[in-house]
């Protein structure tokens, strides 16, 4: 059925310092209907029994685990056929359907091919000009938005260092060169390492957990104006070459239908292919922030009494005020600006 994908369910973050758990209950079998917030299985830690709940609706497909198994945080445990948009957690409406030129800001949202799945999923709908259409953002996402206390900051960064690094990478590696979006994602990861507030996730009960190793989320557009998120696992642990490989692989797998429940503290998004210079993204828990990267454009700047044009990208950060305050978010943005404007190809 068009619009459905196999969604990979993973072991969620259950609390600071908890790395593994034991499977004590499996509540679904292949073919069972899955409702939003329904308990799929139960995991036991040394502190409590933790229910793993569905953040989407669909049809249960398969377990990758069995009773009494020991599972690790982030491990794939099940497949559910459902609507990819119900687990997207993405920050802006719309999707880029063509690549941006190298001189433009990186395009984190890219076109995708839908993978058909064997079962239909019932979704709330509304009537639009005689046709029944699903909402752009699923109820599973909008429900999570209710708890967020959003705030937004804007900051311009010089684009020239990234553009020059891209040109150097192309001269060295040709078609295998790292993209501008991968370069900026690398900078975001380094800034997250330095600012603990941006390594935090928020569970459905509002409990904030600070992570040591963390994922980085990147927005990917799916066919039919649907949204997905690519996840770069343990992004902070990867050296440059491995990071670029993992980034490209995560984007491509999401394009071709591999949909994950992402547990990234921060998601990156862009509409650079449309020439969008700025936007106000939304934040969907468990993420505590979303960074929108605008397209490269010229802006008049004043320096020492001299006014001149400068090529910049505008960064728009929306963050959950429950997790960090304005000063903490501003410090993160200043660090990000410093990293962008001093970027050189690692190694």
Contact between 222 and 112 under an 8 Å Cβ cutoff? The reply is yes
pTM of the complete model: 0.74
Question: Cα separation of 160 and 55, whole Å?
Answer: 41
Total residue count of the chain as it appears in this document: 347
Q: Locate 135 and state its tokens.
A: 């909402």
Q: Locate 204 and state its tokens.
A: 């459905």
Contact between 85 and 226 under an 8 Å Cβ cutoff? The reply is yes
DSSP E strands: which ranges in 54-186? Answer: 58-63, 70-72, 76-83, 126-128, 131-133, 150-158
Q: What is the pLDDT along the chain (347 residues), one digit of tens a residue?
A: 445 688 889 998 877 667 788 999 999 999 999 988 889 999 988 778 888 988 888 999 999 999 999 998 889 999 998 866 666 444 443 333 333 344 444 333 333 333 332 333 333 334 445 556 667 777 777 888 889 999 999 999 999 999 999 999 999 999 899 999 999 999 999 999 999 999 999 988 889 999 999 999 999 888 777 788 999 999 999 999 999 999 999 999 988 878 777 899 999 999 877 889 999 999 999 999 999 999 999 999 888 889 999 999 999 999 999 999 999 999 999 999 999 999 999 97
Contact between 113 and 93 under an 8 Å Cβ cutoff? The reply is no
Contact between 226 and 83 under an 8 Å Cβ cutoff? The reply is yes
Q: By C-alpha distance, which of 37, 217, 205, 223 is closest to 114? A: 223
Contact between 158 and 308 under an 8 Å Cβ cutoff? The reply is no
Rg over alpha carbons for the chain, rounded to the nearest Å, is 20
**Helix (H, G, I), strand (E, B), or coil: what is residue 242?**
helix
Question: Cα separation of 211 and 99, whole Å?
Answer: 33
């Amino acid at each position: 059925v068009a619009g459905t994908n196999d969604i990979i369910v993973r072991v969620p973050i259950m609390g600071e310092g908890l790395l593994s758990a034991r499977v004590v209950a499996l509540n679904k079998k292949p073919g069972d209907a899955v409702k939003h917030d329904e308990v799929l299985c139960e995991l036991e830690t040394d502190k409590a029994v933790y229910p793993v709940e569905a953040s989407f609706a669909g049809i249960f497909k398969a377990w990758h685990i069995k009773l009494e198994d020991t599972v690790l945080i982030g491990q794939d445990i099940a497949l559910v056929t459902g609507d990819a948009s119900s687990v997207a957690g993405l920050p802006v409406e719309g999707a880029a359907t063509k690549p941006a030129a190298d001189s433009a800001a990186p395009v984190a949202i890219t076109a995708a091919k839908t993978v058909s799945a064997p079962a239909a999923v019932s979704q709330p709908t509304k009537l639009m000009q005689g046709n029944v259409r699903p909402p752009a953002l699923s109820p599973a996402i909008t429900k999570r938005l209710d708890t967020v206390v959003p705030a937004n900051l804007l900051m311009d960064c010089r684009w020239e260092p990234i553009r020059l690094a891209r040109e150097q990478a192309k001269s060295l590696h040709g078609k295998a060169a790292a993209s501008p979006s991968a370069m900026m994602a690398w900078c975001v990861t380094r800034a997250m390492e330095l600012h603990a507030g941006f390594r935090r996730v928020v569970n459905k009960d509002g409990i904030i957990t600070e992570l040591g190793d963390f994922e980085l989320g990147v927005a990917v557009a799916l066919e039919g104006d649907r949204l997905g998120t690519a996840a770069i696992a343990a992004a902070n642990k990867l050296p440059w070459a491995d990071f670029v490989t993992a980034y490209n692989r995560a984007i491509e797998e999401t394009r071709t239908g591999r949909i994950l429940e992402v547990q990234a503290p921060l998601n990156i998004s862009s509409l650079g292919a449309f020439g969008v210079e700025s936007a106000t993204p939304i934040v969907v828990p468990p993420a505590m922030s979303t960074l929108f990267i605008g397209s490269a454009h010229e802006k008049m700047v004043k320096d020492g009494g001299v006014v001149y044009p400068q090529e910049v990208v505008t960064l728009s950060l929306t963050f959950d005020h429950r997790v960090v305050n304005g000063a903490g978010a501003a410090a993160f943005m200043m660090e990000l600006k410093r990293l962008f404007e001093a970027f050189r190809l690692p190694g």
